[in-house]
Structures are given as C-alpha cells and as structure tokens.
Amino acid sequence: MKTAGQPGTLPQHLVQRRCVECGYDGALLRDGAAARCARCGCDLRRRPARSYAEMEGMVVRAPPRRGPSPEKLSHDLQRQRLQRWLAFGLLAMGLLLVVFLAVAAIAM
C-alpha cells in the first residue's frame, strides 16, 4: 500500500502536472498555471492540470494561483485610468457649458 509522501521524494513523472483531458505535460502548461492546455485547448481553470500523485491522493498540493494575470491587471488599470480621464473631461466640458450659458444669460 502506498503512503502519503513529500513531493520531493516521488519520481518526477508522478509529480509532473498534466492536462487531465489529453495528458500533455509540457512546459506550456506552466505546471498547471496556464489558462488553457497548449495541446487540446482544455480549460484548465475548470479542469485543473493534476499529477498522477495528486490524482492518487499521494500528495496534496495547493492549486495553482488563481485570479487575473498581471497582463490583464495592467490592461484593467489602463482602462480604469482612461475611463477616469474621460469622466473628468466630460465633467469639465459640462462645467464650461454651464459657465458659458450663465455668462450668455447675464450678457443678454
């Protein structure tokens, strides 16, 4: 009977994470951190890549980091900044229009 062990003591082929759909275990999988399998396109967020050791319950490892990638965070930040500037521009134009109308009303 197998017992639970440390990942370091198990052979590499048992701890190498692979796509559960097609078995791909290459570098493009980024040890299960990639969003999709590079070979079959399997959604690794819904079906995370796992090693044989994990599937057999020989090791329990924390799942790969979830959440948006740094590129997406940077893109969201840029979009947020653009939206703030657009809102500021619209507000400034609205204020200028109000001032212009007030001056025009006084001048009449």
Give least dist CB 72 to Zn ion, A: 22
Nearest CB to Zn ion, comparing residues 22 and 91: 22
Give least dist CB 67 to Zn ion, A: 22
Nearest CB to Zn ion, comparing residues 22 and 95: 22
Give the residues lining the site for Zn ion (CB under 5 A). 19, 21-22, 24, 37, 39-40, 42
Question: Does residue 25 contact residue 16 with C-beta atoms inside 8 Å?
Answer: yes
- Residues 55, 61, 62, 68, CA torsion sign: negative
Pair of tokens at residue 57? 């319950």
Nearest CB to Zn ion, comparing residues 50 and 89: 50
Q: How far apart are the first and last CA of the chain?
A: 96
What does the alpha-carbon distance between residue 17 and residue 32 come to, in Å, rounded to a whole number?
6
Give least dist CB 97 to Zn ion, A: 57
Pair of tokens at residue 69? 């990638």
